[in-house]
Copies of this chain bind each other. A is one copy, B any other.
Amino acid sequence: MPISSPPTSDETGDHPLTRTEFQIIRTVTKHPCTLWEVLSAVDGPIRETYRACEVLKQRGWLVFRKGRIHPGKLPRRLVQACQIDFSMVLEKLRALLEAAPPPTTEYFQEPMLPEDLCRRLEFMWERGDLFDRTFFVIGDDDLFSLAAALTGLPRQIVVGEIDLRLVGYIKEQASRLRLPVEAFQYNVADPLPASFRRAFDVFVMDPVETVPGFTAWLSRGLAALRHPGAIYFGLTELECPPKYWHRFQQLLNEAGLVITDILRGFTRYQNASLAPPDKWNKTKLVQQAPFPALQEEQNFWYRSSFLRAETLKSPKVPVRGRVKFDRSFYQSPFTMTLS
């Protein structure tokens, strides 16, 4: 499937903003700032922030007046991108989730809480990874793609998803809401379609937590990513032991990515996929429990850390070809929630 070329902006097309530049502009549009208030709100080296300030000054987008840094005349799209109402996005996402196909363990689906998905979006926006970026998402039972597009910021979002029900639903809603979202059926064990190589700025996943599964997920994402790019993913400690985390960090390091954030407990899940008693009672979670594991008493105990990594150069891709899709792909000795 070819990707349609992302829309270019009339207003900022000549000046694709770096995330440093975006963070600076966002800061000064809140209120006139001191240099320190700018440095407080921008990621990365002081040196880079200083350089970006010089660029924006020359472009007339930053003006120093009466002892404070003010925004100059800015494109309207950019000003809008600096003030996003995530509560509006959350409200619309809830409605979309209610009408979506229910999660199934067949594809290891377990959607996160919609408010935690919006926190992820807000974190990406804070990092400057949302505005004017193209996204590739593998697996989207959370409807990340639609929620991200509802902010109005990403240029384009492409979803690879194995569940045809979800592919259909995402396409249908994207078309109805005129969102720049495309979806196609994709099994992560298959190679990435050639037209997707190095085509995206940001990759997002909530992968299965086995070594072969994670490696495949990451490989497809890294193949799709160009430099400078960022990846975001969830990873639990609950079903993924330190030695797997260690292996995944090695993969990232060797691929030329640096991890910038690991946020413990950032994402909670709905615990809905195991609801049928025949599934519930067959899990190790229940069978090996040291105390009664009563389904109806559950709080939102299942959670993951949220990780961000960014490229230092075009990523080196761990695996390019087809990989074996067997039990070891989705189940490890640490998997407790499958029956």
Contacts and interface: CB of A to CB of B under 8 A. Distances in A.
B245 A36 contact: no
B46 A336 contact: yes
A262 B309 CA distance: 11
A65 to B, nearest CB: 11
Interface string A256-281: 11111111100000000000000000
A258 B240 CA distance: 12
Given A34-B294, A242-B260, A237 B299 contact: no
A36 B298 contact: yes
A35 B312 contact: no
B260 A245 contact: yes
A204 interface: no
A119 interface: no
A2 interface: no
Interface residues on A, range: 35 or more
A252 to B, nearest CB: 8
A263 B50 CA distance: 24
Contacts of A54: 290
A310 B243 CA distance: 10
Number of copies: 2
B47 A336 contact: yes
Q: Which of A67, A69, A258 has the most CB of B within 10 A?
A: A258
A40 to B, nearest CB: 4
A301 interface: yes
Interface string A33-45: 0111111100111
B46 A243 contact: no
Interface of A: 34-40, 43-48, 50, 53-54, 57, 64, 67, 69, 237-243, 245-246, 249-250, 253, 256-264, 284-285, 288-294, 297-301, 303, 305, 310, 312, 333-334, 336
